[in-house]
């Protein structure tokens, strides 16, 4: 098919068309919005990549469940809530349509693509998708994982990566792909073994890992090998690892520190001193072999957290976190690859933040159990580095993870709303959704409603990433009041949590619905968080002396994240607005005159 002409409008015409379309949408009312979903003509929308370089075209594929002849597609492209381009397509009588859009040559930008199906100038179905244009993944990382490497077919690999691509996952942690921790790749770089056993005695196939990497790269995702920075199996002592490099519980090197692995697993894991130069040279050379044999982009470096004071072989006290910066520095010099390191319960994050890492990564554990704690971790990490965004490995419905079951949708969406509104990302998506620190645990699964809702959330997360995660975002000072609802600047039961950010000539206000939550535990450990009560016609008032140009609302819970113009009355320093709806999370974009 021919590439449809993309028509760009002057600023005046953009605003005129934008408000006409929004006016039509709002005039249809609540029942009409539900009707869009029930039309059930649009089946699936996807793009060909998770991230696009500057100047790279975006290829879309939209699948239909019913014939669409006699109808047309009106496709709008939005940046920070403003329409910048439009495409019109008259689909033929086929099961799908494909087209191409050329985004502006702007780096680190997110776009919302809004697809409307029209018949006789009336919208009868709609669907949205986000687009990330970034020259690298580390400014707006969206981290996923893989954890199972049996003998998979090319189709199984394609489907797994395709699913992650739909969530715009732009980097993948290959959890426990390796053989021994002290020698990850079994065999040589030139002749790796076809299979091996991992620590849990699972059979791992080299070709599965290789094909996963290739398919991820085709989608413009980064791939990260996974390993501890200080782990060696007991068998390593017969393969060149020396007791003199180890870590001990006592100052007389009589009691080595090791992890006693479950019965039936391959071996225990003995800890080495990350600052020991001989250990560094050993593990770096073994890791270099990995990069020679497999096209990984970097190393996801793991640890297990605070172990208090241990001892070197020579009897010197050793605080493990004090070794992290130097280990990462030397890793970068030796391997010259991308690095990410897990700060378990924030242990060692100060040292990691000074090192040459792509972004910060926190595995969240007690005592950080509340929604406010998640916000505090993200704020703390930003203060440490000033530039890095953060991934939170935060395992949901954790107490249910021992038995088969389903994730609780309200718990997942509320926690994601809090993380996303505070600029973080959530490590949660892989071949399955995470419920446990041992990533192959797939006891809990998503139901179709959660899968669909998360697509909306990740589209929103990408489309508005410059307003959610821009490194230049600052805390906002806008004061918000309501004569209907209790508002709070911290998470509080029975309130709407308001989070304010400022960027250039915009204030960004997040409204998070905590009105009927029964607790503030982000983990929703037993999966019993209730669905929030939908709030409508929310009256808000805020103060500010700057003249407002526009107010836009967007929410992953409303119109698939499409921007909606909000009427406002500004008199002196007081502005009054009315928000149409709040389910979990709304975002307001207040734009001021320059």
The domains located in the chain, with CATH, are 6-133 (2.60.40.10), 143-227+276-305+320-468 (3.20.20.80), 474-592 (2.60.40.1180)
The pLDDT of residue 472 is 93
Task: Please tell me the predicted confidence (pLDDT) of residue 7.
Answer: 33
Pick from 439, 331, 423: which is nearest to 375 by CA? Answer: 423
> Which residues in the chain land under pLDDT 50?
1-38
275-280: long-range contacts (C-beta < 8 A, 24 or more apart)?
275/318, 275/322, 275/323, 275/326, 275/327, 276/244, 276/245, 276/312, 278/242, 278/244, 278/245, 279/230, 279/241, 279/245, 280/327, 280/330, 280/334
Closest-CA residue to 314 (of 247, 242, 269, 255)? 247
In 3D space, the residue among 241, 357, 362 whose CA is nearest the CA of residue 299 turns out to be 357
Strand-pair partners of 76: 86, 114
Are 47 and 131 spatial neighbours (Cβ–Cβ below 8 Å)? yes
pTM score: 0.92
- Kindly report the length of the chain: 594
Closest residue by Cα to residue 548 from 579, 518, 581, 593: 593
Return d(Cα 550, Cα 356) in angstroms, integer: 40
pLDDT in tens, 1-57: 433 333 333 333 333 333 333 333 333 332 233 334 446 899 999 999 999 999 999
- What's residue 545's pLDDT? 85
In this prediction, residue 308 carries a pLDDT of 83
Q: What is the pLDDT of residue 277?
A: 98
Write down the pLDDT at residue 39: 66
């Amino acid at each position: 098919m021919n590439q449809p002409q993309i028509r760009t409008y002057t600023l005046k015409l953009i605003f005129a068309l934008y408000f006409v379309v929004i006016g039509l949408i709002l005039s249809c009312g609540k029942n009409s919005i539900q009707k869009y979903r029930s039309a059930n003509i649009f089946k699936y929308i996807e793009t060909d990549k998770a991230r696009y370089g500057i100047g790279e075209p975006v290829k879309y594929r939209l699948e239909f469940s019913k014939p669409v002849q006699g109808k047309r597609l009106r496709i709008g492209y939005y940046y920070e809530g403003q329409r910048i381009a439009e495409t019109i397509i008259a689909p033929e009588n086929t099961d799908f349509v494909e087209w191409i859009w050329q985004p502006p040559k702007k780096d680190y930008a997110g776009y919302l693509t809004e697809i409307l199906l029209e018949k006789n100038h009336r919208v009868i179905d709609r669907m949205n998708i986000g687009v990330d244009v970034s020259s690298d993944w580390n400014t707006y990382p969206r981290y996923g994982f893989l954890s199972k490497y049996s003998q998979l077919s090319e189709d199984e690999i394609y489907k797994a990566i395709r699913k992650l691509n739909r969530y715009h996952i732009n980097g993948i942690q290959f959890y426990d792909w390796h053989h021994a921790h002290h020698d990850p790749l079994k065999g040589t770089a030139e002749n790796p073994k076809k299979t091996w056993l991992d620590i849990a005695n699972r059979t791992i196939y080299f070709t599965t890992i290789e094909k996963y990497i290739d398919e991820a790269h085709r989608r413009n995702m980064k791939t990260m090998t996974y390993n501890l920075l200080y782990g060696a199996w007991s068998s390593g002592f017969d393969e060149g690892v020396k007791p003199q490099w180890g870590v001990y519980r006592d100052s007389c090197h009589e009691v080595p520190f090791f992890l006693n692995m479950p019965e039936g697993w391959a071996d225990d894991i003995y800890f080495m001193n990350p600052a020991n130069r001989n250990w560094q040279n050993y593990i770096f050379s073994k890791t270099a072999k990995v990069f020679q044999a497999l096209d990984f982009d970097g190393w996801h470096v793991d640890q297990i957290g605070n172990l208090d004071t241990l001892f070197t072989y020579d009897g010197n006290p050793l605080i493990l976190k004090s070794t992290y910066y130097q280990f990462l520095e030397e890793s970068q010099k030796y391997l010259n690859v991308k690095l990410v390191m897990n700060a378990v319960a924030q242990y060692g994050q100060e040292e990691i933040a000074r090192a040459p890492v792509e972004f910060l990564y926190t595995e969240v554990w007690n005592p950080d159990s509340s929604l406010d704690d998640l916000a505090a971790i993200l704020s703390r990490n930003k203060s440490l580095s000033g530039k890095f965004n953060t991934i939170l490995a935060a395992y949901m419905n954790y107490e249910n993870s021992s038995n088969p079951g389903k994730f609780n949708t309200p718990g997942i969406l509320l926690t994601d709303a809090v993380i996303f509104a505070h600029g973080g990302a959530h490590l949660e998506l892989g071949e399955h959704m995470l419920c446990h620190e041992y990533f192959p645990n797939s006891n809990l699964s998503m139901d179709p409603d959660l899968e669909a809702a998360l697509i909306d959330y990740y589209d929103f997360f990408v489309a508005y990433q410059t307003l959610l995660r821009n490194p230049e975002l600052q805390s906002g000072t806008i004061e918000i009041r309501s004569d209907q609802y209790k508002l709070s600047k911290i998470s509080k039961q029975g309130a709407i949590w308001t989070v304010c950010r400022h960027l250039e000539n915009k204030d960004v206000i997040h409204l998070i619905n905590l009105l009927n939550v029964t607790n503030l535990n982000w983990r929703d450990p037993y999966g019993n968080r209730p669905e929030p009560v939908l709030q409508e016609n929310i009256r808000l008032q805020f103060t500010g002396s700057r003249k407002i140009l526009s107010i836009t609302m967007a929410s992953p819970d409303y119109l698939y994240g499409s921007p909606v113009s909000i009427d406002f009355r500004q008199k002196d320093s007081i502005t009054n607005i009315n928000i149409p709806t709040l389910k979990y999370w709304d975002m307001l974009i207040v734009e001021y005159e320059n």
